[in-house]
Structure 1
Amino acid sequence: MSATTITPFCADDLVRHLPEFGALLGACVHDGASVGFVMPCSVEACEAFWRGKVLPSLRAGGLVLLVARQGEALAGTVQLDYDTMPNQRHRAEVRKLLVHPAFRRQGIARALMIELERHALGLQRSLLTLDTRTGDRAEPLYTGLGYRTAGVIPGYARDTHTHAFDATTIMYKPL
């Protein structure tokens, strides 16, 4: 097994690796991740997300995109959205923590989050927020990293594989 490296990606990096990012997102959605998509989920839809939602924010300078690689393989990613209003320049939002199912249970999600927090501090952000599907396998990870639950919203998003609606847990962490 190769060592995991975590690096920030710029807009040009994302464009060069767009098929890998589409495949990562697709694998996570097919595995049941609640990240905004429902089945069936095409590779084209996954790539369109990165091209249409992430790329513009990267180019505008309001987003950090961190990438975890094992050797040449894209193992995971997470985003730090710090494009906030003037009265919120102290905070940022954690978005789309994704670890490919083949690379799970190796500490990659934790390593990505620790690096994300380091970047947040470098941007003088003292509060991080996120939301996660209530009861999801990521919830204990966030709790273990010191995130606290602000509340739960029932019926927040449709389940990836069914027509049921799942609750979301809103979490925060002062840095």
Structure 2
Amino acid sequence: MSLRFVLDPDLTPQLRAEIVDLWVDVSNAGGAVGFVPPVTATDVHVTADPTFAGIADGPDRLLVGYSGDRLTAMLIFSDNRFPLTAHWCVLKRVMVHPDTQGAGYGSALMMEAARLGRELGHEALHITVRDGLGLDKFYGRLGYREVGRLPGALRVAPDDDRDEILMWLDLTVAD
């Protein structure tokens, strides 16, 4: 089954709850979306609530993907809030439900983000990746290239610091 994408859906209380549930499931499955397991909805709300404000009040944009009626994937086009970097944006909170891994939904989500990025007038997309999970290889297959690293920037546990990998997709290059 393919995903049905919606850009800028109405951020209803139900959708907010579904996003928090997705975020908890992804985090507890080891996904690199701002937490390390175990997390609860209460933990996620600390980050989710200001994220929702940036979407509801602008300037951030929410992209969601549905498999049937189920929220299965999401990401946020995060505005840089700085005029000198207005020509590109950061993708944040890129998530695909863990029980759909391997179905191609992650690739579909990122291809839709690139398509929309161009449509929205962005010249590039930037994403940060936690090292040690193979995500840099996944994004590399989608055309992203590593443009830098912050060594040991992410402390996921005592004595377990990971690099934060900076990745970039030039949207001005033809596919």
TM-score (norm 1): 0.88
User: Within the alignment, does 1:70 sit opposite 2:67 as a pair?
Assistant: yes
Secondary structure, counterpart of 1:13 in structure 2: coil
Alpha-carbon contact 1:24-1:100 (below 8 Å) kept? yes
Give unmatched runs, 5+ long, in structure 1.
none
User: Paired residue for 2:35?
Assistant: 37
User: Paired residue for 2:167?
Assistant: 171
Q: Identity across aligned pairs (percent)?
A: 24
Alpha-carbon contact 2:145-2:168 (below 8 Å) kept? yes
Equivalent residue runs for 1:147-166 within 5 Å = 147-159=144-156, 162-163=157-158, 164-166=160-162
Count of aligned pairs: 170
Q: Counterparts of 1:3 and 1:174 in 2: how far apart (Å)?
A: 26
User: Displacement, 1:139?
Assistant: 1.7
Deviation string, structure 1 residues 96-131 (Cα, Å, up to 9, x no partner)? 111111011111111111111122112211021111
Q: CA RMSD in A?
A: 1.7
Structure 1 stretches of 4+ with a deviation exceeding 6 A read: none
Secondary structure, counterpart of 2:121 in structure 1: coil
Equivalent residue runs for 1:15-34 within 5 Å = 15-34=13-32
User: Displacement, 1:18?
Assistant: 1.9
Which amino acid is the alignment partner of residue 174 of structure 1? D
Give unmatched runs, 5+ long, in structure 2.
none
User: Displacement, 1:14?
Assistant: 4.6
User: Within the alignment, does 1:122 sit opposite 2:119 as a pair?
Assistant: yes
- Change in 2 beyond 3 A, CA 1:127/1:22: same
Structure with more relative contact order (C-alpha pairs < 8 Å, separation 6 or more): 1
